[in-house]
Amino acid sequence: MSAPIKNPAAETLPRPPGLAGLAADWASDQRTFKNVSWGKAMMWIFLLSDTFVFGCFLLAYMAARMATTVPWPNPSEVFALEIGGTHLPLILIAIMTFVLISSSGTMAMAVNYGYRRDRRKTAALMLLTALFGATFVGMQAFEWSKLIAEGVRPWGNPWGAAQFGSSFFMITGFHGTHVTFGVIFLLIVARKVWRGDFDTERRGFFTSRKGRYEIVEITGLYWHFVDLVWVFIFAFFYLW
């Protein structure tokens, strides 16, 4: 069979203006997806679906809080710690937020060094990011154990509205699970980067193409999403 004849004029047609141009960009065979790998495209689709899940959780939390006639517990008091005899509201939550936001910086640097093919710095920064994530999960475990010891349950709590416990465990637990999986993913990819699997084309998960550090960027997309979700949880759950 002879090769199909290409029309050079069709390939150089200008993009239509307005909504027609937007539709042309996002058509299945057009510009937007031509230079995007399946891995990156599927990660974006996954993150979009996860956005809806977290959005539903936060909307349900706001609806429950506004609908209840029982006073809602004051987060500044519930999440306060006594350190050296000083009452510090939200101190643990502030540290957790600082740790997670800092991890976004180290992850961004890891992606930068990954595309420079500096595997040692990339692996080190990914391990540092994983350490930040593990620290966050550890502090969240301490927060959970403290509230459980004080009587907080999914069906009630000693300070007011019963919906507080179920909202707290559902939202923070779901987010903490995401962070935990992110830490595991970071450790797996960092090990492969450190061993040079992307340079030697060693067969295995995430290392099918030689010299491609794109998996580091895909991991970074997931990690930045987890950090961004925490900003909304922090604002709606702890500051409201």
Element (H, E) at 137: helix 119-149
pLDDT for residue 234:
93
Q: What are the phi and psi torsion angles at 135 (to 5°)?
A: -65, -40
pLDDT for residue 35:
67
**Inside any domain, residue 218:** yes
Confidence at 7, pLDDT banded by 50, 70, 90 = very low
pLDDT for residue 77:
87
**Inside any domain, residue 46:** yes
**Inside any domain, residue 21:** no
* DSSP-assigned beta bridge partners for residue 83: 86
**Inside any domain, residue 180:** yes
Write the CATH number for 208.
1.20.120.80
At 108, is the secondary structure helix, strand, or coil? helix
- Position 154 pLDDT exceeds 70: yes
**Inside any domain, residue 76:** no
pLDDT for residue 116:
87
**Inside any domain, residue 138:** yes
80: left (phi over 0), alpha (psi -120 to 50) or beta: beta
Cα-based distances in Å from 37 to 55, 72, 73, 127: 27, 47, 47, 25
Specify the number of domains making up the chain.
1
pLDDT for residue 25:
62
Pair of tokens at residue 123: 């692996």
**Inside any domain, residue 148:** yes
pLDDT for residue 177:
96
- Position 237 pLDDT exceeds 80: yes
Interval 12-64: pLDDT, tens: 556 677 777 766 666 655 555 566 677 788 898 999 999 999 999 999 999 99
**Inside any domain, residue 31:** no
Q: How many residues does the chain have?
A: 240
Interval 61-93: pLDDT, tens: 999 989 988 888 888 888 888 888 788 888 999
pLDDT > 90 fraction of the chain, expressed in percent and rounded:
49
Cα-based distances in Å from 187 to 108, 194, 214, 216: 16, 10, 16, 11
The model's pTM:
0.82
Range of the domain at 132: 36-71+88-238
